[in-house]
Every structure is written in C-alpha cells, then in structure tokens.
Structure 1
Amino acid sequence: MVKDGNVSVSGNVPMSKNEDWWAVWLGLFIFLLGLGPIFGADLLGWVVKSSVWTDISKAIAPISKSYAGMSGITSLILTYLFLLVLTTIGASVMGANVKRFIIGFTVIFGITYLCMVIGDNAYIAATPDKQAKLGVSWSLGLGEMGFVIAMIVGLIIGNFAPGVARYLEEAAKPEWFIKTGIVILGAAIGIKTVGALGLASTVIVRGLCAVVEAYLIYWPVVYFISRKYFKFTPEWAAPLASGISICGVSAAIATGGAIRSRPIVPVILSAVIIVFVAVEMLILPWIAQTFLYHEPMVAGAWMGLAVKSDGGAVASGAITDSLVRAKALKELGINYEEGWMLMAATTTKVFIDIFIGVWAFILAIIWSVFKLNKKQDAASQAADKVSASEIWDRFPKFVIGFALTFFILLFIGLSDPKVVKLAEAGSNQANGLRSIFFGLCFFSIGLITNVRKLWEEGMGRIVAVYAVCLFGFILWVGLFISWLFYHGVMPPIVGG
C-alpha cells in the first residue's frame, strides 16, 4: 500500500505547501527554458538523453547537437544538479528535511537513470523498424521498459531493505514528479498539433473523429465492464478505462491525478499497458499488411486508434507504412508515396492526446460532484452538496499547467510557422526532463509500495480487463471507424 504520508492531498493547503502547485511552477519554469531556441538561446541543450544502444559507452549524450562536444557523463551530472536544485527548493518550502531530501533524491535519481539506460538496450527497446539499423536480429520492442525496471528496483528496495526505503522516502514524491512531467508534456503535444494542422484537411478532420470514438465509445464501455463484471472500484476503473481507451500511460496518470486516486493505481496500470503495447506492435502491422494493403490509409489510422501509447502508435504506423507499401507494390503494382500511413497514425494519435487534459478536467468535476472516491451510501451522497470551493479544491492543478504549455506552444506555432522547428527542438529538450520525472515517479512508487498488497489490489483482474476489452472490441471497433472515415482515401502514387 502507498503510505498515507506520501499521498498528496490538496485540501486547504496553502499554495506554497501544495505539491500540485509546485508541479505547475516547476513544469512552467522548464517549459520557459525550452522556449530558448525560438529566441536564439539553447538553454536546455545540455540535458542528458538516453538513446537505444548496443554500445553502452554511447548510451547517453546531450540532447542538443549544439553541445556535441560535451561528454554524456558531464551532461548527466548537469541534469542531476539542475533537477536537484529545483526539487530541493520546492521540498524545502513544503517543509521537507532538506538534508535527507538531498541524499534521497541523489540516490533515487542515480538508480532511476541507470534503470532507464538499461531499458534502452537495443534488445529490449528497439522497435522492429529499427532493428536492422542497430544491428540486432530481434528485440522485445519494450520502448518504455526502463520505467518498469525502475519500479521493480524500487519494489525490491522498499520490501527487502525497509530501513533504506524509509530514509529515501523523504525524496520519494511520485505525484509531484509525475504531475510536473505532465505539465511539460503539454508543450510537446501543442507543437505536434501545429504540425498536424499543416496536414491535408481530410486527414485532420478524420483524426478529430477519433476523439469521439476514444472518449465517448471506448471509455464508457471499458469503465462499465471494469465496474460491473470485474468489480473494480471507481478509483481503479476510471484510470483503467483511460489507459485502455485513450493514450496509455499518460491518460491513466492524468486520470488518476484528476480523481485523486492513490499514486499506485496509474503506475500499476502503466506497467500492464506497456506490455500490451509491445504485443500490439508485434502483431497489428502484419495483420494490416495481410488484409489492408488495398486500404493503406485505413491501416495507418487503425494503428493510431488501436496502439495505446504515443511511441508505440507512431512506431506501428512506421512499420505499417513500410509493410503495406511493399505488399501493394508486389500484389497490385502500385508504389505509394512513403509516409502517408504514418501521417494518418500520427494525426489520429495527436488529436486523441490533445483532449487528455480536457478529459481530466471533466472527470475531476464528476468525481467532485458525485464523490465517487468516498464510501457513502446513495442517500448521504445525494444529501451532501458540493460547493464551488470544494470543486476547485479537488481540481487537479497540474491540468492548468498542461493547458498553458499546450496553448502557448500552439499559439506560437500558428502565429509564426517559421519558428515551428525551433519550438519543436526546445520542447524536445524539455521533454527529456519530462521523461526523467516519469522515471523518478515509477521508482518512487515502487519504493513506497508494499508488494504483498499488489494482488489484493487486483493485478490479475487488470490484465483480464485489458485483454477482454482490447481483443474483444477496441481493436475491431477501431478498425471499423478507420474504415468508415478513410475508406477510399489513397496516398499519392510515386510517378502517378
């Protein structure tokens, strides 16, 4: 179980003591630094980046080519010091023991980043379309496995070295870390949206239709099945529905924060989601090649609707693009231009991502009004009126930060198309820090979790719900919607 002391409760806590607000402030500060390239200043180019590797000496490097002369180790140390200073300021104001926080954060950061590097080994992380380039004949295709490894290591320490875990807990702030990461994520999605708006209008309109499917068809059905047939509480059913229906890890985490679920809930769901994404990536592109080479854009859109992570969907779109084009050339003698199926997959996924924050806001209001996380009978719920201040109190403040970063980048990109590439470079640099915050969250969750309680919380049922919903209707409804909107829409033909 997650210990009560590590569960952030906003309540009437002053802004200066509130983890949600500190997530907004830190996220916005990093976001502002990420705007540097627009003004000719590479302010975050030194941030460390871990790439998929076969030679570990080449695993880490500065994220910007402007810092190509800097070693990976120097970049890693600078990144650690930067995050240490920021988080220590916040922890100190919130009343933490500064000495223990500094020591704890140092250990947590070091272990987490090592796990992320291990997870980027080519045999673990390489997607099928990258294997040849990396010189490996096979891989697991688990691109986010570093997070899961970090959580497992945290679980081992938390359950077999409880004394160490208790000391490190001063710096184990899973909600703070993940919400800061989500604020930064808004910028990346915002600039991706600018790119999507430059695509053919027909693809954009069809991408928007995916929002209706994911949020108004997938989500309520998964939630209903989870509640009625698998007996999950609302605390589990809502993030599970978002994770399976919308955008995997990010949606599950955003929903968990919006409804005030315990931090353990979205992280356990994330581990399951990552595994299923890998399975989909290994299966769906080849199904598309076999049955959809007559309808290439249907195949691409299907990847965006079916694969529940950004990286997995885009990678699946790239694989599908290659496989379907080869099949069409062989069987039909048609040589389609490269990239249009990938465009369909990416656009579909982008528009689904845009509404994560909006959906989190809607769920926050619903959970406030109906008090779905409280064990009350129907009569007491009906009698208990919710004030406007309570709705604001329960509102996930990180959604404000997410919305700000998203709309600022969207406005900048639409106002001056010339700076889109610069804005994208800056958001990618900030996104490197976002990935680290996610990793810190996963390790922290493991550290403060009692593993003996995991199965009591329903891990086996989570896998069952995911399998039933994904293979029972999500894949096939997604295929039908893709066919409905993209049937007859063909990519340009090379030389045509």
Structure 2
Amino acid sequence: MPEGGSIRGRLRTFLPGVGILVFGAIGARAIATKLPGVNELLVAILGGVLLANVVDIPKWATPGIRTHKVWLGTGIVLMGASLAFDAIVESGPIVLLLVCCVTGFTLLYVEALSRNVFGITDQLASLLAAGASICGVSAVVAVAGSIDAREEQIAYAAATVLLFDAVTLVVYPAIGGALDLSARVFGVWAGVSMFSTGPVVAVGFAHSEAAGQWATITKLARNTLIGIVAAGYAAYYARNRLNTESASADDSADNTGTGESGDISLRELWDRFPKFVVGFLLLALVSSAGLFSLGDLRSIENAYGWLFLLAFVGLGTDLELRKLKCAGVRPVFVVFVAFATVSVLSLLLLRAVLG
C-alpha cells in the first residue's frame, strides 16, 4: 500500500503541471492549424513565455512543468526514426558534398562569431551553431542534452532559430522568383541553407514540384548529420568537464591519480555521455533498415511532434524577460550574420556548380 500511496502522491504532484503543458500543446497546434504558415513550436514557446511573465506559474504546477526535460529527451529518441540514411545516396555525390561543406562551414562560422566576436557563452554558442547548421530546433534540442545546456539557453536558441524560420518562409520564395532560379538550384539552396525541415519543404513545393523534391532530399541528407554533431559535442563537453574536474583535484591534493588531467578513459566518457543520443542513432538505423512501416513512421512522427510541443511549452516558461534582457540581442545578430553569409555564398556556389 505505501507504494500505491507514493504513486498517487506523485500523480498529485506532477499531473497539474503536466496538464498545463498538455493544454498549452493542444492550444499551440490549434492556433497553428487556423493560421497557416505559423509555426506551432513558436506558438508553444510564446505560450510558455506568457505563462511565466504575464500569468505567473503557481507553485503547485511547477513540478509538472519541470517534466518538460523528460518529454524533450523522449522526443529526441523518437525523432531518430524520421532519419533515413539512404537519403544521402539518393541525393547524389555533388549534393552530398555541398551539404557537408555548407554544414561544416556554418557550424564553425557560428561558433567563431559567437565566442570570438559577440562573446556568447559556450553552451549557447553551440546551440546556435547546431540550429543554424543542421536542422533548426531539432538540432538545438538534440545537442542541448549533450552539453548540459540550461533551459533558458535552449529556449532562447530555439526561439531565435524559429524567428528566422518565419522570415525565410517569406524571403526565399521572393528571391527565387526575382532571380528566376531553376527548380534544382532553388530546392538544393533551400535544403542547405534554411534551418528547419518544415519550412524547407514548404518553400520548396511553393516554388515547384521538382524544387520541393530537391529541397526535401537535400534537407534529409543534411538532417542525418545531427547524430554525428550531437555525439561530437557530447564527447567534447564531457572531456572538457572531466579535464576541469581533474585539474581542480590536482590543485587541491597531491598528484595521486592514474595519469595526467588530459588522460580520460573511454569508460569515463561513456559515463558522461547522454544515453539518449545512442537511442536516437539506434532508432535511425532501425528505420533505415526498413523495419518500420509507413504507418509506424507516421505514428512515431506524430508522437514526437506532440512531445516537442509539450517540451516547448515548458521551455517557454524559462524565457523570463529579465533573463532575456541579460542575454540581449547578440544571439539574433550572430544568427543573422551567419545566415546572410551562408545564404549568399551557397547560392553563388550552387549557381556555379548546378547552373
């Protein structure tokens, strides 16, 4: 009986806040459905922002709202099923090379701008770099768990990325029409330079059927890199944390350890490595092997879509205005500079290579 009582107690503790997340997620999807072109994740974040800054979160709802980390991690794992590694082969070697080059350049460029020019903290810089270089919000949330990013950093990076998603939905079709870009050039351009998958597909098919197909296949190839980048960031930050802890221990005691501070065993890295990244990659491999039916994939996509909505309502509550004032507009400037540079350079490169 004590266990049952404990379970009921936990339900009473968490259900009210989870109920608020569910209500916010349903509301965000309903609003986005009635207003075509409006991103439901952005609406979810805004709902959380209003809840935190206007309505104020009651104490009895706080524990349940804090569960957004659980929904986020679960959604990331399920998102792996949407990645198809064979998309890389279908996109062709030239497009694949362009994807790798543009993605790598964007990642390093945003990191350099953030840290060396705008003085942005390491974790937020990495979130902005991942979001801008790979697949928008999906990359932000995938990398966030790998680097122990704070909730307000995740929410700020996601909101910044979604802001540019909204802008590109309007700007890209206008540029494509003004420059009379071919379907292949426009589709690949959208696929390598825009942030999130949804806007890429929407913009591509708004141009033409062929452009939509090129945009989709290019973006899928680019999305596949998310696992590699998340794993790389996880190893990098885990190693840095261990080196810092080892150096601190050396300063406070005699050197009685097993080696220098830079010598970190694979076991130690594994202990620090976020296990959801493994789940994400395994599910991607299972999906690529064709073990999921089309119906299964649609169900999984719907599931992680809802989980992300729940998570982003909760993440929005961490976007308190006083915290945003401290962060300032530097992240937006970083993404703007990087986005403008990559968009122009990639378009020039594509017109030269693809004609």
User: Which band: TM-score by shorter chain?
Assistant: 0.7 to 0.9
**Is 1:311 matched with 2:198?**
yes
- Matches of 1:373 and 1:117 in 2, distance apart? 48
**C-alpha deviation, 1:120, in angstroms:** 2.2
- Matches of 2:243 and 2:176 in 1, distance apart? 41
**C-alpha deviation, 1:305, in angstroms:** 1.1
| Cα displacement string for residues 91-110 of structure 1 (whole angstroms, at most 9, x for unaligned residues) | x89x9822121232223212
CA contact (8 A) 2:134 2:225 kept: no
5+ long unaligned stretches in structure 2 = 1-5, 252-259
- Matches of 1:377 and 1:317 in 2, distance apart? 51
5+ long unaligned stretches in structure 1 = 1-91, 127-140, 322-338, 414-421, 488-496
Q: Cα–Cα, structure 1 residues 320 and 373, in superposed 2: closer, same or farther, change >3 Å?
A: farther
Instruction: Write the letter of the residue equivalent to 2:224.
Output: I
Counterpart for residue 98 of structure 1: 11
Within a 5 Å distance, the mapping from 1:79-478 to structure 2 comes to 97-122=10-35, 126=36, 141-142=37-38, 144=39, 146-162=40-56, 164=58, 166-172=59-65, 173-190=67-84, 193-194=85-86, 196=87, 199=90, 203-293=91-181, 295-321=182-208, 339-371=209-241, 383=261, 385-412=263-290, 423-458=293-328, 460-471=329-340, 473-478=341-346
Q: Secondary structure at the match of 1:412?
A: coil
Query: Which is richer in helix?
Result: 2
Q: Cα–Cα, structure 1 residues 229 and 115, in superposed 2: closer, same or farther, change >3 Å?
A: same
**C-alpha deviation, 1:342, in angstroms:** 1.8
CA contact (8 A) 1:210 1:351 kept: no
Instruction: Write the letter of the residue equivalent to 2:111.
Output: Y
**C-alpha deviation, 1:152, in angstroms:** 2.7
**TM-score under structure 1 length normalisation:** 0.63
CA contact (8 A) 2:190 2:200 kept: yes
**C-alpha deviation, 1:224, in angstroms:** 0.2
Q: Please tell me the root mean square deviation across aligned C-alpha atoms, in Å.
A: 3.0
Instruction: Write the letter of the residue equivalent to 1:98.
Output: L
Report 1 or 2 for greater relative contact order, CA contacts < 8 Å, sequence distance ≥ 6. 2
- Matches of 1:483 and 1:383 in 2, distance apart? 49
Q: Cα–Cα, structure 1 residues 456 and 380, in superposed 2: closer, same or farther, change >3 Å?
A: farther
CA contact (8 A) 2:200 2:219 kept: yes
**C-alpha deviation, 1:400, in angstroms:** 1.2
- Matches of 2:243 and 2:56 in 1, distance apart? 30
- Matches of 2:118 and 2:248 in 1, distance apart? 21
**C-alpha deviation, 1:372, in angstroms:** 9.6
Q: Where in structure 1 do 4 or more consecutive aligned residues deviate above 4 Å?
A: 160-163, 372-382
- Matches of 1:449 and 1:470 in 2, distance apart? 24
Q: Which structure would you say has the larger Rg?
A: 1
Aligned length: 342
Aligned-residue identity in percent: 26
- Matches of 1:287 and 1:149 in 2, distance apart? 27
- Matches of 2:44 and 2:219 in 1, distance apart? 27
- Matches of 2:112 and 2:89 in 1, distance apart? 37
